[in-house]
């Protein structure tokens, strides 16, 4: 019997890192900042639409470069891409698809065109600063030669993790929407771990399946199928972002996509089907609760029974498509809340850190902060400070920054967030082996690619990384036993 413990490299996630690229260091920042300034001065719908189009095109190129051309992974670049996609592409989509009888978008939405335009300009300027400073100062997270080892530890993590996710659904710790909403009750560690692990584990499993051979390929394929099906009950954005992370995770396993047109096309088609089916299933499960006049905690099995009835009578696809179409037309326009908060902070005194303190308090475990549910929400705070009327809106790192310090906060909060998340990964990489660090980093990326996340979500991610790294550290240190004949 032999115990196999491989030595660690001097830099855990690889030494061969890509140098700064002129496109991201000079060209993109210049285009984004100049376009943002011109848009700010112009202040009309045409300028806003043009700025949103520029943001969309640059973001889509950045996404393609990162996923399919194996561009280096920097948290700053990912966050810049996320903000441009969420605010820019979201605004373009709503402008193109929302029926409004020839009215300007701002008029139809009851908003001020100048406020919306300045909000879009601020997004571009912020993304430009993230690109420039990130390319200049942030080292790529993974080296180009790095590969997740396809060994017993990796396969064991996949098999155990899949069984744990299944157990989570069977015990109703996980269900529709992911982690069960307990309305203020303290969450236990196990369900929180499963919720955090779900998306990165699915991405890793799918990537390992494509890179494996023999029996391991069969077993990981079964796990990937189970996880992808269960993921369809969690959320539309989760489905889309997990599909993106699957593409990225392929490079970590050594599965090559760069320069392979057939593989890229096939992968895009398969993931497109996964997203389409997943979004349809998720919408049916959501409509099932509405049909049943129930709340968000309607059990998953009841939702499935109602949805299956629609499948049998042939109305399921029509119901899902109509609901998705109505949702996509207006739901993607997340610019309004941010623009109003930014404008309000320029006219009246901002919160000067009250929002940061509130979100940070919410991230503290309940055992240390029993009264955290009584803390003021961001929408209520903005309504109080700036005379707005929002009850539920699209929070993001930009709305957090604007609430606290206006335009200065819009510029600084994303940079501070990138620093904190990258710093936590770098610290953990000193104590963990490549597999757990990669899982934790995939979890961080999954959070960063979502536009509509508040500071609490990012801080909870960092908190969970620290807590769960202990479990992964113990798991990674278990010896690999090999029997000799």
Query: What is the reported pLDDT for 92?
Result: 94
In terms of DSSP H, where are the helices of 292-396?
300-313, 316-331, 335-347, 354-363, 378-386
Query: Of the candidates 178, 166, 287, which has an alpha carbon nearest to the alpha carbon of residue 237?
Result: 178
Concatenating the DSSP letter of every residue in 256-313 gives --TT-HHHHHHHHHHHHHHHHHHHHHHHHHHHHHHHTT--TT--HHHHHHHHHHHHHH
Query: What is the reported pLDDT for 329?
Result: 63
Query: Which has the minimum average pLDDT: 40-44, 262-266, 421-425?
Result: 262-266
More confident residue, 256 or 156: 156
Is the Cα torsion angle 142, 144, 148, 149 positive or negative in sign? negative
- Residue 10 pLDDT > 50: no
Q: How far apart are CA 128 and CA 29, in angstroms?
A: 4
pLDDT band (50, 70, 90) for residue 180: low
pLDDT band (50, 70, 90) for residue 245: very high
- Residue 258 pLDDT > 80: no
- Residue 4 pLDDT > 70: no
Q: How far apart are CA 469 and CA 337, in angstroms?
A: 36
Task: Decide: 248 and 445 in contact? Cβ < 8 Å.
Answer: yes
Query: What 8-state DSSP symbol labels residue 369?
Result: -
pLDDT band (50, 70, 90) for residue 372: low
Task: Decide: 125 and 80 in contact? Cβ < 8 Å.
Answer: no
Query: What 8-state DSSP symbol labels residue 86?
Result: I
Query: What is the reported pLDDT for 158?
Result: 93
Q: Is 76 exposed, middle or buried (0-12, 13-18, 19+ CB in 10 A)?
A: buried
Distance (Å) of CA 417 to CA 165, 382, 448, 452, 462: 29, 21, 10, 14, 10
- Residue 373 pLDDT > 80: no
More confident residue, 92 or 288: 92
Query: What is the reported pLDDT for 123?
Result: 98
Query: What is the reported pLDDT for 293?
Result: 58
Query: Which has the minimum average pLDDT: 104-118, 228-242, 306-320?
Result: 306-320
Q: How far apart are CA 456 and CA 112, in angstroms?
A: 30
pLDDT band (50, 70, 90) for residue 2: very low
By percentage, how much of the chain surpasses pLDDT 70? 89
Query: How many separate helices (H) and strands (E) can be counted in the chain?
Result: 20, 4
Query: What is the reported pLDDT for 375?
Result: 56
Query: What is the reported pLDDT for 187?
Result: 62
- Provide mean pLDDT across the span 149-155: 88
More confident residue, 261 or 233: 233
Query: Which has the minimum average pLDDT: 149-153, 260-264, 303-307, 452-456?
Result: 260-264
Query: Which has the minimum average pLDDT: 173-177, 273-277, 405-409?
Result: 173-177
166-170, 268-272, 402-406, 436-440 — which one is most confidently predicted on average? 402-406
pLDDT band (50, 70, 90) for residue 294: low
How far apart are the two ends of the chain, measured CA to CA in Å?
9
Q: What is the dihedral of CA 424, 426, 431, 437, to 10 degrees?
A: 90
pTM, to two decimals: 0.90
Query: Which has the minimum average pLDDT: 258-262, 291-295, 403-407?
Result: 291-295
Task: Decide: 440 and 465 in contact? Cβ < 8 Å.
Answer: yes
Work out the mean pLDDT of the chain and round it to a whole number. 86
User: Tens of pLDDT along 392-409?
Assistant: 788 999 999 999 999 999
Task: Decide: 280 and 239 in contact? Cβ < 8 Å.
Answer: no
Query: What is the reported pLDDT for 323?
Result: 80
Query: Of the candidates 455, 416, 410, which has an alpha carbon nearest to the alpha carbon of residue 121?
Result: 410
Query: Which has the minimum average pLDDT: 271-280, 378-387, 466-475?
Result: 466-475
Query: What is the reported pLDDT for 101?
Result: 81
The residues near 347 (Cβ < 8 Å, ≥ 6 apart) are 386
- Provide mean pLDDT across the span 460-464: 86
Name the helix (H) or strand (E) containing 250. Answer: helix 236-253
Query: What is the reported pLDDT for 129?
Result: 97
């Amino acid at each position: 019997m032999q115990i196999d413990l491989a030595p660690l490299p001097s830099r855990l996630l690889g030494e061969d890192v890509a140098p700064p690229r002129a496109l991201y260091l000079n060209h993109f920042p210049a285009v984004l900042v100049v376009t943002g300034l011109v848009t700010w001065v112009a202040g009309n719908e045409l300028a806003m639409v043009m700025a949103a189009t520029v943001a969309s095109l640059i973001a889509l190129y950045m996404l393609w470069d990162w996923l399919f051309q194996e561009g280096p992974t920097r948290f700053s670049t990912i966050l810049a891409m996320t903000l441009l996609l969420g605010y820019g592409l979201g605004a373009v989509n709503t402008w193109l698809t929302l029926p409004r009888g020839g009215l300007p978008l701002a008029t139809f939405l009851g908003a001020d065109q100048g406020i919306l335009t300045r909000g879009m300009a601020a997004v571009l300027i912020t993304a430009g600063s993230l690109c420039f400073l990130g390319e200049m100062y942030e080292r790529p997270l993974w080296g180009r030669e790095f590969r997740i080892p396809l060994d017993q530890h990796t396969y064991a993590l996949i098999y155990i993790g899949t069984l744990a996710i299944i157990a989570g659904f069977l015990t109703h710790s996980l269900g529709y929407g992911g982690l069960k909403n307990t309305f203020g009750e303290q969450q236990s560690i196990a369900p929180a771990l499963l919720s955090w692990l779900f998306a990165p584990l699915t991405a890793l499993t799918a990537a390992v399946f494509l890179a494996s051979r023999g029996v391991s390929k069969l077993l990981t394929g079964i796990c990937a199928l189970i996880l992808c099906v269960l993921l369809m009950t969690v959320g539309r954005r989760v489905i889309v972002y997990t599909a993106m992370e699957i593409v990225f995770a392929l490079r970590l396993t050594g599965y090559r996509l760069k320069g392979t047109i057939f593989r890229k096309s096939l992968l895009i088609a398969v993931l497109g089907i996964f997203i389409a089916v997943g979004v349809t299933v998720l919408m049916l499960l959501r409509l099932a609760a509405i049909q049943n006049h129930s709340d968000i905690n309607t059990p998953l099995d009841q939702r499935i029974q109602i949805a299956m009835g629609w499948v049998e009578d042939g109305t399921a696809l029509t119901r899902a498509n109509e609901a998705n179409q109505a949702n996509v037309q207006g739901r993607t326009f997340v610019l309004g809340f941010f623009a109003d908060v930014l404008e309000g902070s320029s006219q009246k005194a901002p919160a000067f850190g009250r929002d940061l303190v509130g979100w940070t308090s919410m991230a503290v475990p309940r055992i240390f902060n029993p009264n955290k549910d009584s803390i003021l929400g961001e929408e209520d705070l903005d309504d109080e400070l700036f005379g707005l009327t929002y009850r539920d809106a699209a929070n993001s790192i930009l709305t957090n920054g604007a609430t606290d310090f206006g335009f200065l906060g819009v510029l600084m909060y994303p940079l501070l967030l990138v620093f904190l998340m990258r710093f936590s990964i770098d610290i953990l990489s000193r104590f963990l082996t490549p597999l757990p660090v990669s899982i934790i980093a995939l979890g961080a990326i999954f959070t960063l690619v979502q536009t509509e996340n508040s500071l609490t979500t990012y801080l909870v991610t960092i908190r969970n990384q620290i807590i769960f790294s202990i479990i992964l550290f113990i798991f990674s240190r278990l010896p690999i036993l090999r029997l000799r004949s």
